Amino acid sequence: PGTIGILTAGGDCPGLNAVIRGVAKAAMHYGLRVIGIQDGFRGLVENRFVELDNRMVSGILTQGGTLLGSSRDKPHKMPMGNKVMNMTQVTVDNYHALNLDCLVCLGGNGTAKNAYRLHQQGGINVMVLPKTIDNDVAETDITFGFDSAMGIATEAIDRLHTTATSHHRIIVCEIMGHDAGWLCLGAGIAGGADVILIPEIPYNLDAVARSLLVRQHSGKRFSIIAVAEGIRSVQEVAAAASSVPRKRRDKDKEVVHQAVDGVHLVQEATASRVAREIQQRTGVEARVTSLGHVQRGGPPSAFDRLLCTRLGTMAGHLLAHRKYNVMVGVKGTDCVPVPLGKVAGIKRTVPRDHDWIKTARLVATCLGDEES
């Protein structure tokens, strides 16, 4: 009845293997052949793939990472040797050489865009399943991987509480999420952070310091500040809106990713700056913890295992019925196909009137603005 290819692209997250298993088992149930493409779109360009059978997708439900490997390579802009080349046609040719009826891409925003571009420019069938710890994909209530990462970040905040309490310190905890605040806000509320700073609400350190001093004066001698990696201060937002050239603004900012001997070190730039300035303003000793890629590692949560299996099997069902060029999203309690054109290129950040923001304010969490 047909053959499908499956690949995992972009940053990994817990649950990728669970989705591969769900798609493959359901597809095989319907009699489809399943080819696993290695290392994202690069594997299709370089013809690196493996046939997935029942044995290969068995026992992987609980495993973190992706058995197929992942990369951030885009077909239309792929580093090849010392050149960056448009490999769209090669990707399309290899899709046909494998006799694929559809290419199932497990990925986030970037992957949805790349898959849709392949469909539009190369005429091939694609399907996307929404993966990312950032939870920032349009047309789905949740992405897989988010719940697991939120659990890890929440546990980290719990652990930081006990040491912050013992030493009467402020601890700033930097949480991933790219330009969206979902992970930081969710984990911050679940972990009971006293201050939560997210990219959607430009922060004002005077407002943050004021709320921390109120805590101090009420007898609470420690505080936890959850900081999303993409936060911007009111001053930075104003500079961005003004005529300050982008190059100069970037130079003024501290470096976040620095390559040393080809190794990317994630600097704790933003979180360190927040900690330093808050220590100066409050007189309370501050420390910084950057959770980094720990948030993307390890086994998926029970919620994600269930979600991944539901998304994967729904994808298998749709593939068997030749329903292509969709993303399988979550709407309420259902897994539903959404036209890919409605997803590609659109980021879902936290709306300012979102229930989680109201919730945080009602438990007196400072969100870094004047309303706090």
What residues line the site for ligand F6P (CB under 6 A)? 11, 108, 132-134, 176-178, 229, 296
- What's the min distance (Å) between Cβ of 218 and ligand F6P? 34
Which one, 25 or 42, has the nearer CB to ligand F6P? 42
Q: Is 361 annotated as a binding residue?
A: no
Cβ atoms of residues 286 and 171 within 8 Å: yes
Q: Which is nearer to ligand F6P, 25 or 178 (CB)?
A: 178
Q: Considering the complex, what minimum distance in angstroms separates the CB of residue 231 from ligand F6P?
A: 12
Question: Any binding-site annotation on 53?
Answer: no
285 annotated to a ligand binding site = no
Which residue lies nearer to ligand F6P by CB, 92 or 133? 133
Nearest approach in angstroms of CB 259 to ligand F6P is 12
CA 144/CA 147 separation, integer angstroms: 7
In the annotation, is 134 catalytic?
yes
Query: Hey, which residues does 26 pair with through a beta bridge?
Result: none
28 annotated binding-site participant? no
Residue nearest to ligand F6P according to CB distances in the complex: 176
Q: Is 206 annotated as a binding residue?
A: no
- Considering the candidates 134, 147, 194, 304, report the single residue annotated as catalytic: 134
Residue 176 Cβ, how far from ligand F6P at the closest point, in Å?
3
Q: Active-site residue numbers?
A: 134
Which residues participate in the annotated binding site?
A: 11, 72-73, 108-111, 132-134, 169, 176-178, 229, 287, 293-296
Which residues participate in the annotated binding site for Mg(2+)?
A: 109
